[in-house]
Amino acid sequence: MRTCAKMRCEAGAIATVALRYGEREVLVADLTPQPDRNLLDLCEEHIRTLKPPLGWRIRDDRNVLILPDVAASEAGSDPEPAAPSPDVGTAPSAVESA
C-alpha cells in the first residue's frame, strides 16, 4: 500500500494529484497503478482539504462508486443516477507540497 505524500502522514493514499500549469488546474484522479515522482499520491484527509493556488481550480476526475440508496431499493423504486462530480471552486491559497 502506498502512503500519503504529505510529510509526517502515514495514511494510505487514495488518489493521485497532478498540477496542470497550462490549465491552472489541480487534477485529482484515481490512484495510479504505479507511483510517479511527478505526481502526488494523497490520503482522504489531504484530498478533502486540498486548496489550489490563487486563480486555479480543482478538477476531481475520480471514478467514485455510489451505492444505491437502501430505502429506495426497499421501496422498489430505482435510485436516481448520480450526477458527475462538479469542479470545486477556487480558494486563495497555495497547494501544499509534500
Calculate the average pLDDT of the chain.
79
Region 70-91 average pLDDT? 47
Percent of the chain with pLDDT over 70: 64
What pLDDT sits at residue 25?
98
Element (H, E) at 70: helix 70-75
Region 19-48 average pLDDT? 97
What pLDDT sits at residue 70?
53
* Cα atoms in the 13 Å half-sphere on the side-chain side of 91: 12
Residue with cell 497532478: 18
pLDDT above 60 for 93: no
Other C-beta atoms within 10 Å of 56: how many? 19
**pLDDT tens by residue, 44-66:** 999 999 999 999 999 999 996 65
pLDDT above 50 for 26: yes
* Cα atoms in the 13 Å half-sphere on the side-chain side of 57: 8
Cα gap 12→89, rounded to integer Å: 26
Is 0.85 topped by the overall pTM? no
Beta-carbon contacts of residue 5 (< 8 Å; ≥ 6 apart): 13, 40, 41, 42, 98
* Cross-sheet strand order for the sheet of 40-42: 40-42, 15-20, 25-30, 57-60
More confident residue, 65 or 84: 65
